[in-house]
Amino acid sequence: MRQCDNCGKDMIEWSVHKGMELCPECYDLVVNGVVKEWPLCPECGDELTPEVRKDVETGEIRILFWCEGAGDDHFSFEISTGLTNEDVANLEEGKPMRKEVSIELLKRIPDPYEDE
């Protein structure tokens, strides 16, 4: 089995960059400067689950995050991107598009039981 030249873990799939065989995570990190880590729930510390939605009325692309952790806490928020499918179709490489982004906290209820 091949091993990633960056992190050393066994790879089923890989990409080559400048002669290095990299796992998908290391490829994103080395080439794009991106680390694949999900945001964490501030109540329980578990990863938040994302879902991309399109507003039926406005066509705006929205991203919802919520916690599916083991506790009884509730936490969710939504990012309104300001983008529509038309905006995405009109993107041009090297030309930034500026849109107003807003974030709305939908629900935040701490776990009623605390570890002692």
What band does 1 get if pLDDT is binned at 50, 70 and 90? confident
Do residue 64 and residue 22 come from a single domain?
no
Average pLDDT, integer, range 69-95: 89
Do residue 71 and residue 104 come from a single domain?
yes
| Domain annotation covers residue 74 | yes
Whether pLDDT at 24 is above 70: yes
- Which pair of structure tokens corresponds to residue 107? 């629900």
Do residue 23 and residue 54 come from a single domain?
no
pTM equals: 0.65
| CA–CA distance, 54 with 21 (Å, rounded to integer) | 37
Query: Per the structure, how many domains does the chain have?
Result: 2
| Residue (of 67, 65, 68, 102) closest to 83 by Cα position | 102
Do residue 24 and residue 57 come from a single domain?
no
Which position has the token pair 């995570």? Answer: 25
